[in-house]
Structures are given as C-alpha cells and as structure tokens.
C-alpha cells in the first residue's frame, strides 16, 4: 500500500477527555470504510484535564492518529492552523471533538467535493441548541458574514468542512478567523458549497462559546472585509477616508472664510473652525497611513514572494515555466 496520504482529518481539542474514546470509536470505522490512506491530526490546545494522556494512548494503538500538544491554550484558530500545516492529505476535513459533528457525514462531504468543489461546508440544518442564546445569534452572524463577504453560507460556525490541500496550504489564519475560512479562501479563487449535516447534542462537558462571541464576530468581520477588499491596495481605503474628511474640512473652511470676509462676522471662537482644522489634519494623517501601508504591503509580498494570483489549470507544454503540478488550483510566483 502506498504511503501517500489522501485524506487528513484535523481536530482541534480543548478539555474533552470524556469525548476522546467515543470519538475514536465513531470516527475510525467511517474512515476505514473509505478505503483510502488517511491520517487523523488532533491538536491538544493546552488542555488542563487528562485529554493528552488519553490521546497518547490512542496514538500508541493507532499510529495514524497523530497528536500535537500546545504548551498553552491558543484558541481554535491556532489549532486549525497547526493542523493545516501538518496535514499531508490531498483533502483536509475539519471536525469538532465534542461529538456534536457526526463523523458519518464525512463521506457526504467527500462525494460533494468530487463534483469539483474546493470547499464543502457542513450546514447544521436542524440544530439542537437553544434558540435565543445560540441559534438566533448564529443566524444573524451568518447572514451578516454572507452579505459582507459575498460568500453565502447558512452555517459559517460549523467546523465540519472539507478542503482541497491547495486551500489550507495557502491561507494564513490568526486571531479568531477560523470561522471565516471560506470567505478568506475566496481571495484565492475557490468553489464553495455546503451540504446539510447532522447536528447532535453535546454529550460531555460544556460549550466553550457564549452569546458574547457575536461581538468578536463583528470585529473579525471588519478584518476579513479589509483583507478581501483592500489588503493589496490599502491606500484606496485610507486615502479615500482622508480625501473625504479633507474635503469636508475644506468646505467648512471656505464657508467660514465667506462669513469672515463678506459678512464681517468673527469666526475665531466658532467650534466649526476647530472642526475644519481637525478634519484637514486627519485627512493628512489618513493619507500618510495609506502610503505607509502601501509600502508595508509591497515589502511583505516581495520579501515573502507571496503571489497575487492563483492558477486553476494550465494547458500547455511542461517546459513553459508555469508551475502546476496537479489539475487543482496551484500558486504561481508572480515575481518570476
């Protein structure tokens, strides 16, 4: 049997000692039935219970289960990022460790991916959580994210997703951006869809999230919107704001000049004068920030040799200098 890994399952985990053995018992038969080479990468995100000891015992029984232990709790985004970095499979599936995701839905995601999609997201159509504290905020957030990013999904919060390798290897996660992976990946050009999946009640422990997460989502959404629209042209947003505030400041200044010269009124003690000066100063600062951001962006892209485009497929001779490798999207260095 070939040593090539076809499927990687990435599972971030924090304080889920009671879920680990049932997870192994449920997931292993599903993966074995796929008749493919697979690996399971579990990231222990600094658990304080016996999670790592139980994961270590499973690894000793089944070497296909690989364990990454963080020194402390870094969050789900860091866990997924570490799993993506370690994953060797052509397809990467992410899954929660709390047993709310049903491993039996994995073949459904893979079948849908065979239709040509780069990301297949799970949609918990019939959720088992309280409406006002969990489902209503989630519905609101999903609609807000979809309308803002242009990537329409019913359930951004579902961890059960399948990705092409080219997607997870070419996106960089930080902060709390794990829930926005399909939106962030859209910047490199991907085909995204979703399929209904089973949602089950939590059997052990308690949720790590509360209603307060809606505020984090809103802040992260601003970051994602900036990344998608202005990450390679920051002067357009900062410069645009600068020009707008500067124009308002100049108009106020012209009005006050008219009042002073033609109406003979004193303007020295008017708040509008201070506002005009502040707006013009702010305009200069915003444009300066935009210029500095442009330099930073160009330095980043050139020093990292970060490409600014993706090629899905190339039809031509192998010696034409275009890097492909597979029939899926691949990065081509734009600096060459």
- pLDDT tens digits along 301-314: 677 666 666 667 76
Place of tokens 């040593």: 3
Q: Please write the tens of the pLDDT for every residue from 35-49.
A: 899 999 999 999 999
User: Tell me: the pLDDT tens digits for 236-275?
Assistant: 889 999 999 999 999 999 999 999 998 888 888 889 999 9
* Predicted TM-score (pTM) of this structure: 0.76
CA gap 53, 13 in Å, rounded:
13
Query: Under the phi-then-psi rule, with left for phi > 0, alpha for psi from -120 to 50, and beta for the rest, what region is 35?
Result: left
195-239 tens-digit pLDDT: 999 988 877 766 655 556 667 777 777 877 777 777 778 888 899
- Ramachandran region, residue 189 (left: φ > 0; alpha: ψ -120 to 50; beta: rest): left
Whole-number Cα distances in Å, 261 to 67, 248, 258, 266: 77, 20, 5, 10
The domain limits of the chain are 7-230, 234-311
CATH for 7-230 is 3.90.550.10
């Amino acid at each position: 049997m070939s040593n090539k890994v076809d499927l990687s399952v990435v599972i971030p985990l924090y304080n889920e000692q009671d879920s680990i053995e049932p997870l192994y018992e449920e997931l292993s038969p599903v993966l074995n039935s796929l008749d493919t080479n697979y690996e399971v990468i579990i990231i222990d995100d600094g658990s304080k219970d016996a999670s790592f000891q139980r994961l270590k015992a499973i690894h000793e029984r089944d070497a296909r289960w690989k364990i990454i232990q963080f020194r402390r709790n870094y969050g789900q985004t860091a866990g997924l990022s570490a799993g993506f970095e370690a994953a060797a499979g052509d397809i990467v599936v992410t899954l929660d460790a709390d047993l709310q995701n049903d491993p039996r839905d994995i073949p459904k995601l893979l079948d849908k991916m065979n239709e040509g999609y780069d990301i297949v997201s799970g949609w918990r159509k019939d959720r088992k959580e309280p409406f006002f504290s969990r489902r209503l905020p989630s519905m609101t957030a999903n609609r807000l994210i979809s309308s803002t990013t242009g990537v329409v999904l019913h359930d951004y919060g579902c961890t059960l997703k399948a990705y092409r390798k080219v997607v997870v290897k070419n996106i960089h996660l930080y902060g709390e951006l794990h829930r926005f992976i399909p939106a962030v990946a859209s910047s490199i050009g991907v085909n995204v869809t979703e399929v209904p999946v089973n949602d089950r009640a939590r059997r052990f422990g308690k949720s790590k999230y509360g209603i307060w997460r809606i505020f984090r989502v809103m802040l992260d959404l601003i970051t994602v919107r900036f990344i998608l629209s202005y990450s390679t042209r920051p002067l357009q947003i900062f410069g645009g704001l600068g020009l707008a505030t500067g124009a308002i400041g100049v108009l106020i200044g012209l009005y006050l000049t008219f009042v002073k010269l033609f109406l003979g009124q004193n303007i020295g003690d008017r708040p509008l004068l201070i506002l005009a000066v502040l707006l013009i100063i702010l305009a200069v600062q915003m444009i300066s920030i935009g210029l500095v951001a442009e330099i930073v962006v160009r330095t980043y892209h050139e020093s990292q040799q970060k490409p600014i485009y993706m090629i899905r497929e190339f039809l031509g001779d192998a010696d034409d200098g275009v890097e492909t490798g597979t029939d899926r999207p691949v990065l081509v260095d734009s600096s060459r």
